[in-house]
Amino acid sequence: MPDLDLDLTAFMADYERANNDREIGRVTAAIADDATYWFSDGTHRGVDEIGAAIERTFATIQDETYEIQDLEWVVISPDSAVCRYRFSWTGLVDGERRSGSGRGTNVVVRRDGTWQILHEHLSA
């Protein structure tokens, strides 16, 4: 399904850009209302709770650059897909340059013709 692969990869690239632009409205537009995110600080359910968690990250890490690397689609169907990737970030935390990296897994679903993230799991 090469077209789906390209479409999904573009979706994840847009999500990455929205995070780097710190445009929370664009970030949350990519997240399903009933999504669940597993971050190192806990589990966040629903787009409002997830958006608040992401905004806290934006406030904590200034001048952040977030990158998704080695994106691999392990399951693709017309209405759902699963990907895994490595991520890294750099930014200022309390005025000091910091960085981190880890692994991510996302479950993406197509609803009303639009791709949305139903689940994201990031781990260091």
Over its length of 124 residues, how does the chain's per-residue pLDDT go in tens digits? 569 999 999 999 999 999 999 999 999 999 999 999 999 889 999 999 999 999 999 999 999 999 999 999 999 999 999 999 999 999 999 999 999 999 999 999 999 999 999 999 999 8
Q: Which residues contact 53 (CB under 8 A, 6 or more apart)?
A: 37, 39, 41, 44
Question: What is the C-alpha separation between 38 and 45, in angstroms, rounded?
Answer: 9
CA 55 to chain centre: 13
Question: What is the C-alpha separation between 122 and 89, in angstroms, rounded?
Answer: 12
pTM: 0.94
Distances (CA, A) of 8 to 52, 64, 101: 25, 24, 22
Question: What is the C-alpha separation between 27 and 32, in angstroms, rounded?
Answer: 11
Question: What is the C-alpha separation between 88 and 101, in angstroms, rounded?
Answer: 4
Question: What is the C-alpha separation between 63 and 11, in angstroms, rounded?
Answer: 23
The pLDDT, as a whole number, for residue 1 is 55
